[in-house]
Chain A
Amino acid sequence: MARPPAHGSVVVPDWHETTEGKEYLACILRKSRRRVFGLLERPVLPPPVAIDTASYKIFVSGKSGVGKTALVAKLAGLEVPLVHHETTGIQTTVVFWPAKLQASNRVIMFRFEFWDCGESALKKFDHMLLACKENTDAFLFLFSFTDRASFEDLPGQLARIAGEAPGVVRMVIGSKFDQYMHTDVPERDLTAFRQAWQLPLLRVKSVPGRRLADGRTLDGWAGLADIAHVLNGLAEQLWHQDQVAAGLLPTSAENTPS
């Protein structure tokens, strides 16, 4: 697998906070709330602005209870479930995210389809793991800062889940970072993991985001600010992967033995 691109080298990192970025982001919000799109729908930009959409399938993997469903809900701007219960099958969530490319200054609408499946369903029904892995463009490996076993399970997960697809984007996310004070995974372990695996590693908080003035509705803008680094990270890795696959980027010096 090609070495992952350096942070900020493919996608303009803080573009979503600029005036231009906010104009594009407005199409995935409605009255300051995140919009939910049906499968027959997509964000609509004002007529002179026509941008390309790049669609990707992302399989979210990780030990039971690390917060896969909660992470996906947070990325989609939905309520994070308060009580944990095992996901009984596969569920998919679509997230649209506009991002600006460094090289061409073009804006691309990324369409991420997150596949989330409960661990016991994966173990019980063979077809579910196959369905999740089939033609996936990226693997998102989750561990929890409050569950050391989930961190130690990562090498096993990486081999079991992504072992047969070495060329596919792999990213690691540490969840429940808000409980960092009680962490079971110290910084030196993260450093060692990064050095050994050369994979992008991001952190997310798992608490519900800020709410609007009514005290109930999630604030869409605040929610986007919380997760922009994850969506930009994915956009960056996936766009880079496509460029390499299309032979548009030199790969000779960057290859690591895999």
Chain B
Amino acid sequence: MGEEGTGGSVHLLCLAASSGVPLFCRSSRGGAPSRQQLPFSVIGSLNGVHMFGQNLEVQLSSARTKDTTVVWKSFHDSITLIVLSSEEGTSELKLERLLQMVFGAMEALSGFAEAMGTGFVSLMVSGRVVSATEGWWRLGTPEAVLLPWLVGSLPPQAARDYPVYLPHGSPTVPHRLLTLTLLPGLELCLLCGPRPPLSQLGPQLLERWWQPVLDPLRACLPLGPRGLPYGFPLHKDILGLLLLHLELKRCLFTVEPLGDKGPSPEQRRRLLRHFYALVTSTHFPPEPLEKVEDDVSRAQLPRACYLVLGPGEPGTGLRLIALQLGLRLLLLLLAPQSPTHGLRSLATHTLHTLSPLL
């Protein structure tokens, strides 16, 4: 699994400790971020061998091949980080420290939340949640949707302290929604009770917590319009996409994945919205296929469908495809040149590529 040729590479994998579900993967080569990713099977095996040991109460902490060093580390029984490095002069100790630092950076949000005495903290870019604490993700559906809308619709302010009634969680007693504009367009949001007062969240406290992660914060800014990290590999025919995770009840949505050739963002959004309404009302069940008990009816449920916009409509020839795999439902809007016989494999491939994100 080491790199042939010049320059070592580093792969960092983050997985949920209990399920082995990959949360994110990052790679670099010669010190620069690289798009090259490890195959899913390799990630699975690396996690599998670590879990196998754990079940037998054996702690696997590192391994070496001819040119690669691998280090595993679990944090609080909830997160497993794995790093593989073929860089010269790499030591297990150095990699272990790296994992400690990575976990430290992941903890910034939850550490901040804990210090502020609330479990509900998120980072938003133009009304989209780009990162949030467990507590924030567990908010009931109306408020989980309405709070980002509210924040995204308000004119810019350095900070806010708004009373909010949560339709699901607290319809009669107001909570406080605090928002802090760390960078133009990037807001830190806290949902809390009487404490902390807004004045406590002054520039000095914010600088102490957030200045050390300024670069990752800046990297969040392009997520506003595009919804995907910069340089994320997507097929050029994709004009828009909507990915839903049916159990987490989260979605990833963009109508500006690459350039702006073709239909306007408004038209793309409208087409995807209509297609979503169509497939969820007529073809796909509202809940994951796995939850449909009866084997026979499960076998009869569709897993994919597509349509091509006919002549006479604006956007003639545009393709729309929906694909459901496990807990995920993916809808794609594609350019007219995309061959219809390749739609399903393109959708499947895209769904696999997007899976680490959601």
Q: Using A88-B162, A92-B159, A131-B199 as known contacts, list a sample of 7 further A-B pairs with CB atoms less than 8 Å apart, ordered by residue number in A.
A: A36-B184, A38-B184, A38-B186, A40-B211, A90-B160, A125-B174, A128-B161
**Majority SS of interface residues in chain B?**
mixed
Chain B 180-221, CB-CB to A under 8 Å as 1, else 0, gives 111110100000001001110001001100110010010000
Q: In the complex, how many residues of chain A place their beta carbon closer than 8 angstroms to a beta carbon of chain B?
A: 28
- Considering only residues 89-128 of chain A, those with a C-beta below 8 Å from chain B are 89-94, 113, 121, 124-125, 127-128
- Minimum CB–CB distance for B193 against chain A, Å: 11
> Does A155 sit at the interface, judged by CB under 8 A?
no
Residues of B close to A41: CB separation below 8 A: 183
**Residue from B159, B177, B206 in contact with A40 in the complex, judged by beta carbons closer than 8 Å:** B206
> Does B158 sit at the interface, judged by CB under 8 A?
yes
Cα distance A79–B157 when bound, in Å? Answer: 12
Residues of B close to A55: CB separation below 8 A: 203
Cα distance A41–B206 when bound, in Å? Answer: 11
- Whether B156 lies near A40 (C-beta < 8 A) is no
- Whether A91 lies near B159 (C-beta < 8 A) is yes
Interface residues of B (CB under 8 A from A): 155-163, 174, 177, 180-184, 186, 194, 197-199, 203, 206-207, 210-211, 214, 217
**Residue from A37, A40, A135 in contact with B199 in the complex, judged by beta carbons closer than 8 Å:** A135
- A134 and B159 in contact, given A40-B183, A40-B206, A40-B210 (Cβ under 8 angstroms): no
- A134 and B158 in contact, given A37-B184, A38-B184, A39-B181 (Cβ under 8 angstroms): no
**Residue from B163, B198, B206 in contact with A131 in the complex, judged by beta carbons closer than 8 Å:** B198
Chain A's closest residue to B194 (CB) is A127
> Does A78 sit at the interface, judged by CB under 8 A?
yes
Residues of A close to B206: CB separation below 8 A: 39-40
> Does A163 sit at the interface, judged by CB under 8 A?
no
Residue among A37, A39, A121 with the highest chain B CB neighbour number at 10 A: A39
**Residue from B155, B183, B194, B198 in contact with A38 in the complex, judged by beta carbons closer than 8 Å:** B183
**A-B pairs with the 6 shortest C-beta distances?**
A89-B162, A38-B183, A90-B161, A91-B157, A92-B159, A94-B158
- Whether B163 lies near A92 (C-beta < 8 A) is no
- Whether B197 lies near A39 (C-beta < 8 A) is no
> Does A8 sit at the interface, judged by CB under 8 A?
no
Cα distance A73–B154 when bound, in Å? Answer: 13
Residue among A89, A93, A135 with the highest chain B CB neighbour number at 10 A: A89
Chain B's closest residue to A130 (CB) is B197
Give 22 pairs: A residue, B residue, CB < 8 Å, sorted on A: A38-B181, A38-B182, A38-B183, A39-B180, A39-B181, A40-B182, A57-B199, A81-B155, A88-B162, A89-B160, A89-B177, A90-B198, A91-B159, A92-B158, A92-B198, A93-B158, A124-B163, A125-B174, A127-B194, A131-B161, A131-B199, A135-B199
